[in-house]
Structure 1
Amino acid sequence: MVRKSDPDARISFLATSAGIENQLVPPRGYDLLTVPKAAIPRGISKDLLLLPLNLMRAVSVTRRKIAGADVIVGFGGYLAGTAYIAAKLSRIPIIVHEANAKAGLANRLGSFLTDDVALCEQTLGIGKGVVIGLPMREALLTWAHRIRTDPIESRTQARRALGIEPEKQTLVVMGGSQGSLRINDAIAKALDQILANDIQVVHAVGGRNVLPTKRPGYFPTAYLNQVELAYAAADLLIARSGAATCQETLAFGLPAIFVPLPHGNGEQELNAAPLVKVGAGVIIRDELLDGETLGQTSIEILKDEERLGRMRQASAQLARLDAAQELAGMVIRVTDGRA
């Protein structure tokens, strides 16, 4: 979106030398600047004693890498915290975007260093900011608009593109980029019951997990390379409730069963809470997840067309589809102010 307004804009990404960004960013035509990570240890250890030294080194390297930048945009995580400090010391403007319902340490720090804060929703840990939603890739937005304009035809086209039955009710199951052993185990135990109800299942198990055997109506895959097709094809989603997943289901008006990851600072359950409150989704807590519960809940929702319709409507009404434009507008305003 920034380049649409300024084709000459130079956009660079910060990453560690071992980050997955090394494979994803350069092929898309963006510069990648590698910097060291200064992670905060969870407990008392040697790493905790070395933290001040590691942080000073990371900030120093980052300051050199970002020299000449007009703005730093951060989305949280250890590197963002380092970048915020480096930018502040270098007098470079900062924009913070917080996707989760409960902010992490880095973005809480960043929000004290700038007045330019964007949120997906009102967020615990950050007392200011404008709610814009989550910036999404063009492919996601394209399919989201198609589903909203012509849901039946778009759903059929997406299913054909995935190589599954175009007219059959579809359950999509995923557990994030690495998959979820807990969800995988539960869906394996529920699969016979789900398939017996004339529901087909697209299941992203995660690249590190064993790929189950394909069978009629069951389509396992390591990873959904075009997740927008899966969202468009689905009548119901089973997933963890990371910030991106929650916001993307809203964009597609997609009913969901969320199984919040029980670790971290509790942000996943908080992410799903607004969707559950309006009836767009339901939560099964990780400790209560089993095959019987997951299978029964999925079938009850999918076989109740009125409930499905209400969930779709509630989900679509919460969606914000212009977050990318909003964030790009913030970037342009800040950079224009430095010109």
Structure 2
Amino acid sequence: MTAPCVVVAGGHSAGHIEPTMNFADALRGLAPTARITALGTVRGLDTRLIPARGYPLELIPPAPLPRRLNRALLQTPGRLRDAVLAAGSVLDRVRAEAVVGFGGYVALPAYLAARGRGLPIVVHEANARPGVANRLAARMTTHVFTASPGVRLAHATAIGIPLRRAITTLDRPALRAAARRRFGLRPDGPVLMVTGGSQGARTINAAVSGAARALRACGVQVLHITGPRHVVDVPDGDPPYIVVPYVDEMHHAYAAADFALCRSGAMTCAELAAVGLPAAYVPLPLRGGEQRLNAEPVVAAGGALLVDDADLDPAWIETTLLPVLTDPDRVAAMSARAAAARSVDAGVVLARHVLAAITERRRSGPR
């Protein structure tokens, strides 16, 4: 097969960009000569995260889809038209053979431009509740993939979420000692990893730091990733309570930990299941309960706990979480159940499907 040319569209937030780039890595692994171009906008994290992964980025005008009747909604048709024209120009210039979208408002212009050119459109939805762009795209194509079977999209096949190879191949026991040294943790004893996502979460930070004394009294070490805009002041003591603002390579944190306390974004749930790390999920109390839906399958499987943001405080950690953290048999059982909820390597599955769609189009000729 001659070098395929694929345009990927999944920008603005890390939740869209990360699976997009992971898919691109998987595609390049199967077809090293593939030409992959990413669409993005100047809004959000596109210009920071995408070039850092080594892929060319083409910018188009942002065309967000307001969910309320306001002035921005009245301006949407014109903005969307401009974005579709810009996306189409990119598709023509790079001679795209397929568009692979992961949602977000950079994806809809790409879908519309691809449909106008008769290009294969491949859709992946990571969240339990699909966004507007992917709901519309699912009506344009039969190539639709989701993270889990419960996602309601036409023609959908559940495959999981494309993840980094460092996650899908992680051997937590083998890396544990080195990972703990990396963060200044003891080699023995339970470790609780705490994170509120890339920006941190005030509720989680306050609850865990407020329970620091109780955690230490029970011999629990903490690796607390606060987010770059948050400050958590925990006195030095033993066992270690390590506070860091951000971790670039999360597989090291996963390897160091025995349990996690975190939000339940789609990527977080998929990564923790992939590495078999049990968790207490604290869904973000916004977006119509989307994060709760992401966590429910692994919770139902017995691999995680679920606590509402409003109920999370130091007392909940002391009375509910600590008995779990200090019970090695229960943690091991939850780890096995979390791992059982993981999916196959979705990036490779998706990449193979995209290559097959391109091959089919080449055989049948452009429409």
> Could you state the TM-score of these two structures normalised by the residue count of structure 2?
0.87
Distance (Å, rounded) in 1 between the aligned partners of 2:167 and 2:219: 28
Is the 2:201–2:226 contact (alpha carbons within 8 Å) kept by the matching residues of 1?
A: yes
2:68 counterpart letter in structure 1:
G
The structure-2 alpha-carbon separation of the partners of 1:124 and 1:131, relative to structure 1 and needing over 3 Å to count, comes to: closer
Give the equivalent residue in structure 2 for 1:334.
357
Of residues 318, 329, 332, the one that matches 1:306 is 329
Give the equivalent residue in structure 1 for 2:208.
187
What SS does structure 2 have at the residue aligned with 1:33? strand
- Which is further off, 97-106 or 255-264? 97-106
Is the 2:198–2:227 contact (alpha carbons within 8 Å) kept by the matching residues of 1?
A: yes
Distance (Å, rounded) in 1 between the aligned partners of 2:43 and 2:73: 21
Distance (Å, rounded) in 1 between the aligned partners of 2:249 and 2:29: 24
Q: How does 1:127-146 map to 2 (within 5 A)?
A: 127-143=154-170, 146=171
Give the equivalent residue in structure 2 for 1:282.
305
Q: How does 1:173-322 map to 2 (within 5 A)?
A: 173-212=194-233, 215-216=236-237, 217-322=240-345
Q: How does 1:113-132 map to 2 (within 5 A)?
A: 113-132=140-159
1:232 counterpart letter in structure 2:
A
Give the equivalent residue in structure 2 for 1:89.
116
1:60 counterpart letter in structure 2:
L
Is the 1:38–1:51 contact (alpha carbons within 8 Å) kept by the matching residues of 2?
A: yes
Give the equivalent residue in structure 2 for 1:160.
181
Is the 1:101–1:122 contact (alpha carbons within 8 Å) kept by the matching residues of 2?
A: no
Q: CA RMSD in A?
A: 1.6
Distance (Å, rounded) in 2 between the aligned partners of 1:82 and 1:289: 40
Deviation at 1:81, TM superposition (A): 1.9
Deviation at 1:295, TM superposition (A): 3.4
Deviation at 1:211, TM superposition (A): 5.0
What SS does structure 2 have at the residue aligned with 1:185? helix
Distance (Å, rounded) in 1 between the aligned partners of 2:236 and 2:357: 54
Deviation at 1:43, TM superposition (A): 2.5
Give the equivalent residue in structure 1 for 2:21.
none
2:104 counterpart letter in structure 1:
G
What SS does structure 2 have at the residue aligned with 1:112? coil
Of residues 67, 72, 82, the one that matches 1:42 is 67
Deviation at 1:213, TM superposition (A): 5.1
Query: How many pairs are equivalent?
Result: 333
The structure-2 alpha-carbon separation of the partners of 1:302 and 1:89, relative to structure 1 and needing over 3 Å to count, comes to: same
**Does the alignment pair 1:101 with 2:122?**
no
1:210-245 Cα offsets, whole Å, 9 max, x none, are: 353562311111111111111111111001000111
Deviation at 1:10, TM superposition (A): 0.7
Is the 2:168–2:345 contact (alpha carbons within 8 Å) kept by the matching residues of 1?
A: no
Of residues 36, 56, 64, the one that matches 1:31 is 56
Distance (Å, rounded) in 1 between the aligned partners of 2:48 and 2:56: 12
Structure 2 residue runs of 5 or longer lacking an equivalent are 1-25, 363-367
Give the equivalent residue in structure 2 for 1:57.
82
Is the 1:95–1:117 contact (alpha carbons within 8 Å) kept by the matching residues of 2?
A: yes
Is the 2:144–2:154 contact (alpha carbons within 8 Å) kept by the matching residues of 1?
A: no
